[in-house]
Amino acid sequence: MNVIELRNIRKVYHLEEVQVEALRGVSLDIAKGELVALVGPSGSGKSTLMNTLGCLDHPTSGSYRLSGEEITTLSSDERAFVRNRRIGFVFQSFNLLARTSALENVELPLLYKGGLSARKRRQRAIELLTMVGLADRLDHHPGQLSGGQQQRVAIARALVNDPAILMCDEPTGNLDSKTSKEVIQLFRDLNDKKGIIVILVTHDQDVAKVARRIIVLRDGLVVEDTSDYAQAMQVLHSTSLADSLPEKPANTAIST
């Protein structure tokens, strides 16, 4: 079953008198339980695509259906409602509140959502921080935690509303190689054991390698969508858009 369905998504930014076409007609489906990497050079459109998938930005044209609901017709408030209940975000810079404990950082989305008592919010936050290995760091502030621990807090916060989709924007960009592997393994465990769709936006080939599907973007287009890592990397490192597009069959017609 497809949770995400994009059809001919375009995004144009107007910068004074210049139009920048960030997405030029992207169509793709993502099913429940997929682990996907979005890769591409700088300016390829992968961040714009992530913002579209995450309901952070509105496309210029095209259709985006999330669990059967058309997202492009929703107001900004309605998209915020969808984000809060269906999508969790993990960013490179962690985005934790500096003067707030790990426990309070994780509880915060539940405060925005409402409907839960303080006891239940605390219980849910403790459960998730324990799951990511931080049961002994509940009262620590971000400045008292390592980069890897801060990212684990951010992951727990992203999961607190039980989202169907986890959007991860360069999630290992500020981590050392050992901690990166631990965080990526956590994403794989969440995908395997809970069936959460994990979408990794990354320039790190080691991160992309753990994905079961790799979508390569260039110049606002999907130029490869494959489960073959070697093929994805070949297309990613090709020198031009023409190199990465499928070859057209030769014209073998005989003129008479």
Q: Quick one: pLDDT at residue 112?
A: 79
Summarised one tens digit per residue, pLDDT across range 94-146 is 999 999 999 999 999 998 777 789 999 999 999 999 999 999 999 999 999 99
Out of 37-46, 107-116, 158-167, 224-233, least confident range: 107-116
Mean pLDDT of the chain: 90
Q: Quick one: pLDDT at residue 245?
A: 53
Quick check: 256 pLDDT over 70?
no
Quick check: 250 pLDDT over 50?
no
Residue 142 · residue 98 · CB < 8 Å: yes
Which letter, b or e, does each residue of 148-185 get, where b requires 16 or more Cβ atoms within 10 Å of its Cβ? Answer: bbbbbbbbbbbbbbebbbbbbbbbbebbeeebbebbbe
Secondary structure letter of residue 246 according to DSSP: P
Q: Quick one: pLDDT at residue 253?
A: 41
The pTM (predicted TM-score) of the whole model is 0.89
SS3 94: coil
Q: Quick one: pLDDT at residue 111?
A: 84
Homologous superfamily (CATH) for 2-94+165-244? P-loop containing nucleotide triphosphate hydrolases (3.40.50.300)
Residue 240: band (very low, low, confident or very high) from pLDDT cuts 50, 70, 90: low
Interatomic CA distance for residues 63 and 255, integer angstroms: 43
Percent of the chain having pLDDT more than 90? 81
Q: Which amino acid is at 234?
A: Q
